[in-house]
Amino acid sequence: MQNIIDQTINFVKITLANAETGHDWFHIERVYKSAQTINKVENGDELVVALASLLHDIADSKFNNGDEEIGPQKAGDFMRSIGVAEDTINHVQEIIRNLSFKASFGNITFKSKELNIVQDADRLDAIGAMGIARAFTYGGYKNRVLYDPAVPVNLNMSKEEYKNTTAPTINHFYEKLLLLKDLMKTETGKAMALQRHEFMLAYLDQFYGEWEGKR
């Protein structure tokens, strides 16, 4: 198993060498580590959790013209090239298909303990100090304004609206990041999310104070 993981790590590092810094190898590494932490309690299939966490952003749809199947396909092709069992490949591909926040806008029919573990690990990296850094990094990448009081938060977006939003980065806190705490599936993920959630609330309080010139 370790040989498969080592080959996967090398493949991901090479593939994401020039990725946007919120979705690069270091993001993958953090998700992988968090997934390992959660799995120590949840006892999911170790190989499935490792492969899914390492390959979940191998071809993120938002950097591939919205193609939501390119990631599972690329992951599957790689896993077959190193001799991973077909049932494991299928499981990992289903996790990748159903992992993202935008996937929750649709009707999710696939469920597994391993999906819960990797999804929680990925969502943990979207909140707290790291989540704040990644949100503004991506906002800068998309040339979005930091905050515009004239642009209201939209909590009723369709999947297509969410995928195509150009709203200020601060709106993203309310439209996604602050919602993640209550979407955690594992007890370990819920506990880890709580402190990160509180950190974001404190950050927003400081942000608005500075915006108004009061701090």
Which 3-state string (H, E, C) describes 116-135?
HHHHHHHHHCCCHHHHHHHH
Number of structural domains (the chain) is: 1
Tokens 């896993």 locate to 79
Query: Terminal CA-to-CA distance of the chain, rounded, Å?
Result: 53
Instruction: Encode pLDDT of 67-94 as tens digits.
Output: 578 999 999 999 999 999 999 999 999 9
- What is the predicted pLDDT for the residue at 89? 98
- What is the predicted pLDDT for the residue at 190? 97
Per-10-residue mean pLDDT of the chain, 215 residues long, equals 96 91 91 98 98 91 64 96 98 94 71 97 98 95 96 90 91 97 96 97 98 93
Structural domain for 39, as ranges: 2-211
- What is the predicted pLDDT for the residue at 23? 86
**What's the CATH number where 188 sits?**
1.10.3210.50
- What is the predicted pLDDT for the residue at 105? 58
- What is the predicted pLDDT for the residue at 45? 98
For the whole model, what pTM was predicted? 0.90
**DSSP label at residue 177:** G
